[in-house]
Amino acid sequence: MPDFETLVRKYKKRSKDQLVDQVALGLTCAEQITADAGLLADNGVLQDTLDTVGTVLPFAVIAVTEEMQVILGKKNQRTSLTDAAFRMVKTGAALTAGAAAATMAGPVVGLGAAIGTRTFLDRYKSRTLTSVRLKHRVDRLRALNALNKNRLELDGAEPAGEA
């Protein structure tokens, strides 16, 4: 089981990944807002380039940051793939929810919906992982309890609390 310092370092690193995702999401939303506000013309090479970059940028940033973690030896390939997949799904869902909300209620609401979607998915993952860890710990305690009872029965002693 990792010590407290290891857990603190792990969660600090995780918050850096969320910051990178938020910046990429913010850039994409800023590009959408400038297009919706009419600051950029709807024709020309600049608009086409920004549309493509704005759509691909968050996913490219995620892929690059996760692969850098593997190259630097901070993650193994399997963990990196799992984390990248979740981050990409989370970003895709946030962009979709943000675009839908921006279409219906405006760009400010769209940005709020995008950030809210990301927060909801983070909380869902955190609670799911907590319940899985709790289940594993309960199973481990039950197994240890059964082993202890077997050991005490072999020694001929009576288990504590069953007098």
| Residue found by looking up tokens 């690193």 in the block | 13
Give the number of C-alpha atoms closer than 13 A to the C-alpha of residue 94, restricted to the C-beta side: 27
Q: Which tokens is 151 given? A: 């050991």
Give CA separation, 78 vs 70, 114, 136, in Å: 9, 28, 21
- For residues 117 and 94, the answer to whether their CB atoms sit within 8 Å is yes
Tens digits of residue pLDDT in 26-49: 777 667 766 666 655 555 666 677
Tens digits of residue pLDDT in 51-110: 777 778 888 888 888 888 888 888 888 988 888 899 999 989 998 998 899 889 888 888
Largest CA distance in the chain: 87
Contacts with 18 (C-beta within 8 Å, 6 or more apart), sequence order:
122
pTM of the model: 0.56
